[in-house]
Chain A
């Protein structure tokens, strides 16, 4: 699943490790989610949304509506 995670993280000047620490996960997890190799669970997706203060749909691109895939 594609996301705007890297773009949103860059806007705030956060490293992957910084975001990982904020989420309570490993840097590898953040990297895997950013590169679309791993889809987060719903609780983790909500935690990501909380950290960025955005709705989930503003961060993650709905796969069924993703015309670029």
Chain B
């Protein structure tokens, strides 16, 4: 599968994006604690870790566009659909649990994290759906 140029391009985009995410998730709280910015600067720093997460979604979108192989593209679309359903289900369940059952509030960035976990679930679905008869 990695013979496909689209997958190699995806990895070239994904790896630095994820490195940037890890760096920001560690660095931003430290900077906020020490510099204690206010107003617009606080907002700008606070949302920085979201940018590489958005970058991963862009990279996945580009993968779907650039994949020449229609069967592999179908598998990736199925993975993304499963991930979307999974993330939406988790968000719905936890949202109602927060409102009606007093469940602890989770920050919204757990939704894209659930989506990425859902990609793993999507891979399992592909494994089952595509197994040889």
Binding site for B on A (CB under 8 A): 24-26, 28-29, 32-33, 35, 37-38, 40-41, 44
19 contacts between A and B (CB under 8 A): A25-B69, A25-B70, A26-B1, A26-B4, A26-B71, A26-B72, A28-B1, A28-B72, A29-B69, A29-B70, A29-B72, A32-B130, A35-B132, A35-B133, A37-B130, A38-B71, A38-B74, A41-B70, A44-B70
| A28 lies within 8 A of B71 (CB) | yes
Give the CA-CA distance A41 to B132 in the complex, in Å.
Answer: 21
Give the CA-CA distance A18 to B70 in the complex, in Å.
Answer: 18
Q: Is the interface of A mostly helix, strand, loop or mixed?
A: loop
Give the CA-CA distance A38 to B132 in the complex, in Å.
Answer: 12
Total inter-chain residue pairs, C-beta < 8 Å: 30
Query: Interface residue tally of chain B, by bracket?
Result: 10 to 19
**Closest chain A residue to B3 by CB distance?**
A26
List the 8 shortest-distance A-B pairs measured between CB atoms, nearest first.
A29-B71, A25-B69, A26-B69, A38-B71, A32-B71, A29-B69, A41-B70, A26-B72
Q: Any chain A CB within 8 A of the CB of B98?
A: no
Give the CA-CA distance A40 to B69 in the complex, in Å.
Answer: 10
Apart from A26-B69, A28-B71, A29-B72: 7 A-B pairs, beta carbons within 8 A: A26-B3, A26-B71, A29-B69, A29-B70, A29-B71, A32-B71, A40-B70
Give the CA-CA distance A33 to B74 in the complex, in Å.
Answer: 13
B:1-40 near A, CB below 8 Å = 1, 3-4
Give the CA-CA distance A32 to B133 in the complex, in Å.
Answer: 11
Give the CA-CA distance A41 to B81 in the complex, in Å.
Answer: 21
* Nearest CB of B to A50, in Å: 16
Give the CA-CA distance A19 to B71 in the complex, in Å.
Answer: 15
* Nearest CB of B to A17, in Å: 10
Interfacial chain A residues near B74, Cβ < 8 Å: 38
Give the CA-CA distance A65 to B14 in the complex, in Å.
Answer: 46
